A = this chain, B = another copy of it.
Amino acid sequence: MTKTTIIVAGGSGLRMGHELPKQFLPIGGIPVLMLTIDAFYRYDAGMHLVVVLPSSQIDFWRELCTTHNFAIKHTVVAGGETRFHSVKNGLTAALPESLVAVHDGVRPFVSQQTIARCFDEALKSGSAIPVTASVESIRQIIGDASVSVNRASYMMVQTPQVFQWQVIDAAYQLPYDTLFTDDASVVEKACFKVTLVDGNRENLKLTTPFDLLVGEALFQQSNARP
């Protein structure tokens, strides 16, 4: 089955305390978004790659690709007001009848095994999202109070979230809802079932300067491997 991966990079950079949006910040000298695209290209060089960026950043991205001699072919699509709208725009460039992955542009450390598990499971059951257990205790906030919950009953959700095209295409016809925090929540609202697979702990969403420091350490380690 043909594959499409939609890589969504909506960051404006404010949370990182940098002027440069976080998807363009360098790790090992390479912009994060290029590392992310490369992870999917390594998994399947024939896959259709769609990158969704705020329209104001598209020219800058093209220049960056030239400067870095970044040669992996990809389609660029302008994002929307929220992540939901950005994914919806990205879907217009997806190959119909393919398996469609949606991935955060700032998760460059997704493993090849995680990508494979997601595509393999989505091919079988229609959808797959990668999750990891929490090492921290978890509290639920209820009004002004909070309670301990059983952490074994909760999982942390990563990307790529992979769906058969007809599933995700149908789901994104729904009107926008503020409770859509990821693609699985959209697909479930459309009454499709979502299957969980194992993610990998290194598959961090680079959100803060701390994450960038961690990312640099991961990059150095993976490049030090034989």
Residues in A lying within 8 Å of B, measured CB to CB: 131, 134-142, 146-158, 179, 181-182, 184-185, 188, 194, 196, 201-202, 205, 207-208, 210, 213-214, 216-218, 221
Contacts and interface: CB of A to CB of B under 8 A. Distances in A.
A210 B201 contact: yes
B134 A156 contact: yes
A138 B153 contact: no
A194 B146 contact: yes
A51 to B, nearest CB: 21
Contacts of A150: 179, 181
B181 A154 contact: no
Contacts of A155: 138-139, 141, 146
B136 A154 contact: no
Contacts of A156: 134, 136-138
A136 B153 contact: no
Nearest to A141: B153
A3 B201 CA distance: 36
Contacts of A152: 141
B154 A141 contact: yes
Given A137-B184, A157-B136, A201 B205 contact: no
A196 to B, nearest CB: 6
Contacts of A151: 181
A22 to B, nearest CB: 12
| Most chain B beta carbons < 10 A, residue from A146, A202, A221 | A146
Contacts of A185: 137, 148
24 contacts: A134-B156, A135-B205, A135-B207, A136-B205, A137-B157, A138-B154, A139-B154, A139-B155, A140-B154, A141-B152, A141-B153, A141-B154, A141-B155, A146-B196, A148-B179, A148-B184, A148-B185, A148-B188, A150-B179, A150-B181, A154-B154, A213-B217, A213-B218, A217-B217
Nearest to A203: B136
Contacts of A147: 188
A217 B179 CA distance: 35
